Amino acid sequence: MITNILSVSDCTDQTSLSDFSPSDKPWDIHASERDQVRNLYLESGHPYARRISDCSQWLDFALTSTDSDEVAFKLQSSKFCRVRHCPVCQWRRSLKWRAKFFQVLPQIREVYPTARFIFLTLTVKNCELADLRSQITIMNKAWQRMVQRKNFPALGWVRSLEVTKSKDSSAHPHFHSLLMVPADYFLDGYLKQSDWTNLWQSALRINYTPIVDVRTVKPKLGVEGDGIAAAVCETLKYSVKPDDLVSSADWLLGLTKQLHKTRAVAVGGVLKQYLADLEKEPDDLIHVDESSQSGEEQGRLRFDWRYKKKQYTT
Ligand SMILES: [Zn+2]
């Protein structure tokens, strides 16, 4: 991550990555979660334990100077396991997806200057973990039916699946989606929350009322600090909370089996041509911050993961 933190001279006495670059603190947090997930796989004799053991054990950063004589850290190399539920890899994946979205947003705005975004969350009743896979199949089919309905207003959409663990250990699958709608949607064809609920219920072909939440993203799309950033971050985040991943070996193994080869993110409508890459595993989990400027390289610094300290240090 690029981060402007210290002057070059400050970098001599530090040893930990988070001291050098406080905004890289998430590395320590996610690597620590990664070890917990690895240990749960290990306890269960699952082959993912071995793969995760090699994940992000070292990080090689380029140090570049900025205009204000500060140092920016930019990851240059590491090795990632790409296990779906590895907390480091799912974090990198979500950063990559977000970067991709913000990279193409100006092009989308150029072609659709008056379009607006709405953020829609669609849920179903909780299910047993053992039934999660079939529940997700039902939700995917319902989504397909919904987007084909005449009154579905979006020109394009991005949708992600999140599964949380309920207190009674049942699974709570739900979709977060960002819909791009034409400007006149708010004048003609506008759907209230109750209309969305009816639409989702009828697409699901169920006889209970599902919980649906819809919010309009504030205008001035793409401006930093704008609602679109929060909606994109919420849509393109991890599919399982790290706290839930590490809650128990049974839950982790059940989830691993149930979510195997299910799609985390889907894109449709006119956004497909800009964002189809989001549906694939990103090739590159290293450069997730393409938009940032790069200054002159001042050197390299390598950090190794210290299992006991739960820190990356030099
Ligand atoms: Zn990993």
Q: pLDDT digit of tens for each residue in the chain (314 aa)?
A: 544 444 444 545 568 999 988 989 999 999 999 999 999 999 999 999 999 999 999 999 999 887 777 788 899 999 999 999 999 999 999 999 999 999 999 999 999 999 999 999 999 999 999 999 999 999 999 999 999 999 999 999 999 999 999 999 999 999 999 999 999 999 999 999 999 999 999 999 999 999 999 999 986 555 545 788 888 999 998 889 999 999 999 999 999 999 999 999 999 999 999 999 888 888 889 988 755 556 778 899 999 999 999 999 99
pLDDT recorded at residue 6: 47
The neighbour count for residue 194, using CB atoms within 10 Å, is 11
Residues with CB under 5 A from ligand 1 (ion): 55, 80-81, 86, 88-89
The neighbour count for residue 224, using CB atoms within 10 Å, is 7
pLDDT recorded at residue 7: 45
What's the gap in Å between 94 CA and the centre of ligand 1? Answer: 13
What's the gap in Å between 184 CA and the centre of ligand 1? Answer: 44
Two structure tokens written together for 225 = 């600090």
What's the gap in Å between 57 CA and the centre of ligand 1? Answer: 10
Two structure tokens written together for 267 = 């894109």
Which pTM value belongs to this model? Answer: 0.90
CB 55 within 8 A of CB 89: yes
**HSE-CB for 204 with a 13 A CA cutoff:** 21
Q: Quick one: how far is CA 287 from the chain centroid?
A: 15
299 Cβ contact partners less than 8 Å away, ≥ 6 residues apart: 62, 63
What's the gap in Å between 52 CA and the centre of ligand 1? Answer: 5
What's the gap in Å between 213 CA and the centre of ligand 1? Answer: 32
312 Cβ contact partners less than 8 Å away, ≥ 6 residues apart: 16, 17, 18, 27, 28, 31, 59, 303, 304, 305, 306
What's the gap in Å between 255 CA and the centre of ligand 1? Answer: 16
What's the gap in Å between 56 CA and the centre of ligand 1? Answer: 7
135 Cβ contact partners less than 8 Å away, ≥ 6 residues apart: 124, 127, 171, 173
